[in-house]
Amino acid sequence: MVIRCQFANTPNMIAYHDEEWGQDKPSSQEVFEALCLESMQAGLSWAIILKKRPALRSAFADFDMEALAKFDETDVHRLMLDEGIIRHHQKIQAMINNAQCALAIEEDTHFPSFRDFIYQTAYQLVAEFSGNEDEINKALMKLLKKRGFKFVGPTTIESFLETIGVYNHHEPQCAFI
């Protein structure tokens, strides 16, 4: 029997734990999706997000930043009627806004991609703050908010950095540590 982190207690959570959580994301789209899903989770359980993820992917153009950045109020209205997703007006608007901000990073910085920006910045902050996760979370949150991102509080950032493998928060007994 494989020992996992305690949260991996349903088939969806086991698959997520074993195949995705804490693993490097090779593309900007995957990093952006992780950020969007963590932002959508605010106030909800991760099990709900995983259950709704197929509908969220469909509704948000598979988290393609260029496509999502073009969404307008007509799209927001359509999404607010979609019972398969999280129908939170501010979160929906934040996903569109954040796609625009992520694209701006790719256009306005020396980083070749949003993915590279996130990973290089996060690892720089890990070194700068000697692994102090509270300070890292706050610093990345401030940086993203300064660039216009929304729904990126310190708890969301912590979960995001876990998801993309910057932090290893597997429990000590977990076989995936």
Active site residue 119: no
123 is catalytic: no
On whether 17 is known to bind a ligand per the annotation, the reply is yes
In a domain, 168, yes or no: no
- Among candidate residues 16, 21, 119, 167, the one labeled active-site is 16
Tell me if 46 is assigned to some domain. Answer: yes
pLDDT in tens, 8-67: 999 999 999 999 999 999 999 999 999 999 999 999 999 999 999 999 999 999 999 999
Question: Which residues have a Cβ under 8 Å from the Cβ of 141 and sit 6 or more positions away?
Answer: 152, 153, 154, 156, 157
Residue pLDDT, tens place only, 85-113: 999 999 999 999 999 999 999 999 999 99
Closest to 26 in 3D by CA, of 97, 116, 89: 116
**Average pLDDT over every residue of 143-154:** 98
Q: Could you tell me if residue 149 is inside a domain?
A: yes
* Residue 177 confidence (pLDDT): 87
16 belongs to the catalytic site: yes
92 in a structural domain? yes
pLDDT digits (tens, 9 = 90+) for 110-128: 999 999 999 999 999 999 9
What is the count of structural domains for the chain? 1
Confidence bin at 138 (pLDDT 50/70/90): very high
CA distances in angstroms from 93 to 21, 74, 124, 151, 157, listed in the order given:
26, 12, 30, 10, 18
Domain assignment of residue 84, yes or no: yes
Backbone φ and ψ for 64, nearest 5 degrees, come out as: -70, 115
Q: What percent of the chain has pLDDT over 70?
A: 100
**From 20, 30, 33, 38, the catalytic residue:** 38
In a domain, 3, yes or no: no
5 is in an annotated binding site: yes
Q: What is the DSSP letter of 23?
A: -
Q: What is the pLDDT, as a whole number, of residue 147?
A: 98
Does some domain include residue 40? yes
The enclosing domain of 58 has a CATH number of: 1.10.340.30
Closest C-alpha to 85, from 115, 49, 118: 49
Q: Is 170 annotated as a binding residue?
A: yes
Residue 111 lies in a domain: yes
Full residue range of the structural domain in which residue 46 is found:
26-163
Among 147, 150, 156, 151, which Cα is nearest to 111's? 147
pTM above 0.75, yes or no: yes
